[in-house]
């Protein structure tokens, strides 16, 4: 590893500092963004016809308000790129600006992109999202940062042909990846569940391989910069994952709106209280509209998100305390 503080160690520090294991998912579905924000956005756009740009600007206005509201309660924000790239270049602009803004607020960024390829393609994904890319300037080729997230999610299907490019950047640049091993969707992914010759399920064999590939990617905290995604909706699998890969950090989706409870979400935590970061998206950012507890008028969306984030942080900490030592 280089002379930097590696991703997983920065994550551990933030968790202790903020006393929170909450990650807020920035999944800005337009149908739930308050209409006033769209009106504000359309005033910013000269070309009335460019509905993608209006939508992208509305997303950015919305995200900034959410980030301001949750910045002291969450340690990480996780923008899901699907909700931005749907609007083409305008959407990606909003994605880039969201990340810049969240970084300035002291939040770590896990980019949820679930990329998967091999060879030079995987290299471009890894460099473009976590590292540096070659660009042509007036003085010839130079290196520039791409998205520059702190960590990103990846899919293991292509094996080391894909992952080795990400692992290299993890080692060289102090970044992290979370490999999607056990998703939160119900029913289970039929692919992850295919029975193997060893009597296990596919995802368990994938976890074993990833652990093996993650050698020499450990941080000083004793946790590994190659983490895994394990859904909150499958707590038994989370415990099994912890046995398979003891020093992995788990990124846990599915808590909140997808139906996973706080206890299920922390099922994979280690005795020292480390090793899980729990994501909630809709349940927080659209709490004003989507939550029973924090329903409110559209103009109060940010306040409502703040209350939902506070509630989630506390609920997760209580579940953590029941299960393990608190890490702070």
Q: Which of residues 208-227 bind its own copies (CB under 8 A)?
A: 209
* Binds its own copies (CB under 8 A): choice among 156, 174, 256, 260: 156
Contact 75, 277 (CB under 8 A): yes
SS3 192: coil
- Position 117 contacts its own copies (CB under 8 A): yes
Q: Is 297 a catalytic residue?
A: no
Contact 312, 256 (CB under 8 A): yes
- Position 190 contacts its own copies (CB under 8 A): yes
263: left (phi over 0), alpha (psi -120 to 50) or beta: alpha
When the beta carbons of 94 and 238 are compared against its own copies, the nearer one is 94
- Position 17 contacts its own copies (CB under 8 A): no
Q: Cα separation of 175 and 161, whole Å?
A: 19
Least separation in angstroms between residue 159's CB and its own copies is 3
Among positions 76-105, residues that touch its own copies (CB under 8 A) are 80, 82-83, 85-90, 92-93, 96
* Binds its own copies (CB under 8 A): choice among 16, 105, 188, 300: 188
Q: Cα separation of 52 and 90, whole Å?
A: 6
- Position 42 contacts its own copies (CB under 8 A): yes
When the beta carbons of 120 and 292 are compared against its own copies, the nearer one is 120
* Binds its own copies (CB under 8 A): choice among 19, 185, 218, 298: 185
User: Which residue bears the tokens 């509201």?
Assistant: 69
Residues whose CB is less than 8 angstroms from the CB of residue 138 and which lie 6 or more positions away in sequence, other chains included = none
Question: In Å, how far from its chain's centre is CA 260?
Answer: 17
Per-position x/- string for 50-79, each x denoting binding to its own copies as judged by CB under 8 A, each - no binding: -xx-xx--x---------------------
- Position 197 contacts its own copies (CB under 8 A): yes
Question: Peptide bond before 37: cis, by omega within 30 degrees of 0?
Answer: no
Annotated catalytic residue within 64, 103, 114, 171 = 114
DSSP state of 260: B
Among positions 268-327, residues that touch its own copies (CB under 8 A) are none
User: Which residue bears the tokens 């950090």?
Assistant: 249
The C-alpha angle with vertex 268 and arms to 177 and 279, in degrees rounded to 5, equals: 55
Least separation in angstroms between residue 172's CB and its own copies is 17
Please give the positions annotated as active site. 114
């Amino acid at each position: 590893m280089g002379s930097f503080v590696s991703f997983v160690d920065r994550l551990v520090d933030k968790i202790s500092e903020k006393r929170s294991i909450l990650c807020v998912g920035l999944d800005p579905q337009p149908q739930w963004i308050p209409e006033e924000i769209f009106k504000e956005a359309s005033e910013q756009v000269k070309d009335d016809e460019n509905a993608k740009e209006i939508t992208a600007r509305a997303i950015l206005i919305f995200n900034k308000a959410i980030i301001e509201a949750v910045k002291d309660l969450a340690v990480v924000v996780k923008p899901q790129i699907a909700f931005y790239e749907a609007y083409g270049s305008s959407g990606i602009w909003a994605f880039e600006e969201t990340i810049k803004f969240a970084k300035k607020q002291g939040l770590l960024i896990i980019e949820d992109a679930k990329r998967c390829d091999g060879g030079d393609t995987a290299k471009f994904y890894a460099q473009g999202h976590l590292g540096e890319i070659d660009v042509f300037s007036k003085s010839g080729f130079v290196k520039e940062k791409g998205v520059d997230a702190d960590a990103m999610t990846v899919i293991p299907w292509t094996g080391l042909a894909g992952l080795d490019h990400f692992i290299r950047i993890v080692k060289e640049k102090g970044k992290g990846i979370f490999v999607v091993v056990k998703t939160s969707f119900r029913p289970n992914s039929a692919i992850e569940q295919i029975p193997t010759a060893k009597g296990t399920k596919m995802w368990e064999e994938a976890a074993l391989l990833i652990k093996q590939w993650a050698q020499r990617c450990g941080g000083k905290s004793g946790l590994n910069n190659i983490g895994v995604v394990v859904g909150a909706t499958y707590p038994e699998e989370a415990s099994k994952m912890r046995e398979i890969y003891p020093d992995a950090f788990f990124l846990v989706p599915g808590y909140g709106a997808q139906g996973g409870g706080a206890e299920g979400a922390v099922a994979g935590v280690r005795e020292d209280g480390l090793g899980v970061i729990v994501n909630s998206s809709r349940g927080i950012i659209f709490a004003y509209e989507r939550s029973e507890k924090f329903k409110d008028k559209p103009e109060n969306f940010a306040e409502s998100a703040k209350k939902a984030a506070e509630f989630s942080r506390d609920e997760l900490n209580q579940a953590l305390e029941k299960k393990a030592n608190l890490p702070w």
